[in-house]
Structure 1
């Protein structure tokens, strides 16, 4: 079976309304205050801040700007941190764990204010998020976590018992869940296009299809060699995340690209959408290979995503897995026609926490671990302020040591299919236990 037998298109659904476009070619400046590698959410947010502060700054992207994860993700403003509070406390101490949690609240507030104040047309809606529990033990843990969030950070967060679940989602698949009202959804390709628009207007130069070949220290600055020429930059910021290549070998040993795939259903009847997603919330769950899903911004279809372990073989298999997951949650959608199936790379690190760090004078803003809608603009903005020397009084909780290198890894994630299969086995065992 081919991918075309399962879905109509293998390009992102988001590109229908906001296609990723090339930019006009322009000469590379011989000298810059700041050279940025990558023109996704993080690179553009940083470039915008720097340009508005009067710096001469250019961003270099190996593809069309936004062609990577920025226009391929689910558009959910979750700002998820993969390790839970207890794990972060054990690993980094309670002060760091609490600072990370508090910064998540600040990052969402920054994003929402930025969209509003800049007038970005990106279909943003603060809908709230429902996360389903796979068993009653998991529900109890989620209920305690929701209560802690509400008390410690003032986040509107509460448990939803199984008896009230259908008020939020039209399924009996979960055993209750929890809601956070500080999470919403946007159209990621529109958001990137709007961010690009205001960044260019503010004076940022963006070079599309211009990969960086090398970054070399030279005197008090750097020599940045690109496919369009060499530039002397006083400072360099790398924001490549899941598409990091040989231009940043130190970073590449610390970030593992993980393929994430999404599907979009064909248009569904209004009464079906009203029954399955009555509050139009963003949705998630707590499986190792859990799905995230949401209504489209116009409320006419469901978009669902999850990890994709494929590197070769049947191109339809990952799409079929996602469609089966959709039918497991919503049995009435079994066999539903899919309009789109696409994938992109997210980037994981050994701490599973976003990061700002410096190595040999180069600053890195990266490692968003699948939650870049919130973290990439925030970390990019904070990195820009660090380059300008503005962070002494309020350093970011993500500004600390580099993540550890992954042993025996140099950019080819050959081990990911085995890891994802292991997670699948864990999910099957957990599922069996919850249903006994």
Structure 2
């Protein structure tokens, strides 16, 4: 039996590749006794909200259960898009036309907000807009992707190119997919560097950032303040804002019932020869596919490595065990990567909602923005900003994602612990396997 760990490089680590250049930060300074706004969660959403609030003179404190940036924001693939998840992910099904237009318009605004923020504040984020390829897992998915592309072009104004399988090697030298579509305006950034830049922006604007302070309980508003119990003491806050996404914990049981933290895994290869990178991804595009349990890949920002992500099986695994499985799945797409080892394997939780739509708003006196559904780089940055504008009373109009309807996860007795995920994942894997088998007949 072959040694699966042979694919691991001698310097293999379970830290995210992004942390090599920009690791999370520790901020163990004492917590303040009081604050105007307590932001729970130091991801893109929380930091974006904190920066805008502090810039407008609000006394704001950000707390995180772990290091600043240890969660999903620095564990993502760093892909940047606009309304793609709403259309291709199926979220717009059953949504009336007027709200769909507003959701897509806000998604476009999130993309433009991100690009403007990075440019105007000169944030070091390695943003590159090289396009994104959506590959058809089976032949019949090609027509579905074409329809999605037409819808995205019509509603969001993106430039879509149809790529039949006969031309697929122009995009990537693989025969695993059956053609697909390229969207020019999508891109990617360096999640670690972007998070570090947002930390600096929030701090320079006047926000306090504090790590290792998990929120355990939020008391009701009494005499103008919430009493917030953390692992490092109690803070009195006039307003509390949760931007915890897939890491929403016991500090807010109500929100925890409305979001599922789904673990996704990624690997990074060791540096590859330039000619091989030119085969895998000559245009340095982001690449995803049409499976239910989708695969996503991209080049590292410096163009030297392949980063590859998916769920390796029905159950969560330690990263060291997951790495060989991801490597084997990667070779199914690009057999020419055989012989190149894995230097990093890491995982992070994606915040999923029942309706596949992100939500912001207020429940029981607590403000929140949650549920990126795997599309969080631009959207959660934007919803953090919009939440801050709402608290300040500066919004021109309410966000389309701000709705009183935030459905609970439709699973009996769900309390934030996703015991049912292996069942759902198993069903998705089975359906994908059936699709592949039927395509061969």
Asked if these proteins are the same fold (TM beyond 0.5), I'd say yes
Contact 1:254 1:349 in 2 (8 A): yes
**Correspondence for 1:94 among 92, 97, 100:** 97
Contact 2:80 2:187 (C-alpha < 8 Å) held by counterparts: yes
Deviation for aligned residue 1:92: 2.3
User: In structure 2, which of residues 228, 244, 248 is the aligned counterpart of residue 244 of structure 1?
Assistant: 248
Q: Check the 8 A contact 2:83/2:104 in 1, yes or no.
A: no
User: Which deviates further from its counterpart, 368-377 or 194-203?
Assistant: 368-377
User: Which string of whole-angstrom CA distances, capped at 9 and with x for unpartnered residues, describes residues 170-229 of structure 1?
Assistant: 112211111112211111001000110111000010111111121111233311122232
- Give the CA deviation at 1:424: 0.3
CA distance in 2, matches of 1:396, 1:423: 32
CA distance change for structure 1 residues 419 and 215 in 2, over 3 Å: closer, same or farther?
A: same
Which residue in 1 is equivalent to 2:430? Answer: 425
Match of 2:390 in 1: 386
Unpaired segments ≥5 residues, structure 2: none
Match of 2:76 in 1: 73
| Matched-pair contact (CA < 8 Å) for 1:79–1:373 | no
1:135 — aligned with what? 138
Once the two structures are TM-superposed, the CA of residue 91 in structure 1 deviates from its matched residue by 2.2
Partner of 2:164: 161
2:398 alignment counterpart: 395
Equivalent in 324, 333, 349 of residue 329 of structure 1: 333
Give, in whole Å, the separation in 2 of the partners of 1:283 and 1:195: 26
**Residue 225 of structure 1: aligned partner:** 229
Q: Secondary structure at the match of 1:410?
A: coil
TM-score by length of 2: 0.93
SS at the partner of 2:29?
coil
Match of 1:369 in 2: 373
Shift of 1:308: 4.8
1-side partners of 2:7 and 2:210: how far apart?
37
Distance 1:309 1:37, change over 3 A: farther
Offset of 1:316 from its aligned partner?
Answer: 4.6
Q: SS of the counterpart of 1:91?
A: coil
Distance 2:147 2:292 in 1: 20
Tell whether the 8 Å contact from 1:258 to 1:307 is kept in structure 2 after alignment. no
1:337-361 per-position Cα deviation (integer Å, ceiling 9, x unaligned):
1111111111111011111021111
Which sits farther off after the overlay, 261-270 or 145-154?
145-154
Alignment partner of 1:276 out of 277, 280, 289: 280
- Contact 2:259–2:371, Cα closer than 8 Å, also in 1: yes
Give the deviation of 1:248 after TM superposition.
0.9
Q: Structure 1, residues 42-73: CA drift from partner, whole Å, max 9, x if none?
A: 00000000000110000110111110111111
- Please name the residue that 2:307 is paired with: 303
CA distance in 2, matches of 1:418, 1:85: 23
Check conservation: 2:242, 2:369, Cα contact below 8 A: yes
- Structure 2 counterpart of 1:110: 113
Per the alignment, residue 178 of structure 1 pairs with 181
Q: Go from structure 1 to structure 2 and tell me whether the alpha carbon gap of 1:63 and 1:88 turns closer, same or farther (over 3 Å shift).
A: closer
2:72 & 2:5 partners in 1: Cα distance? 21
- Number of matched pairs: 434
Which stretches in structure 1 are left out of the alignment for 5+ residues?
A: none
The two structures have a TM-score, normalised by structure 1, of: 0.94
When structure 1 is superposed on structure 2, of 145-154 and 318-327 the one drifting more is 145-154
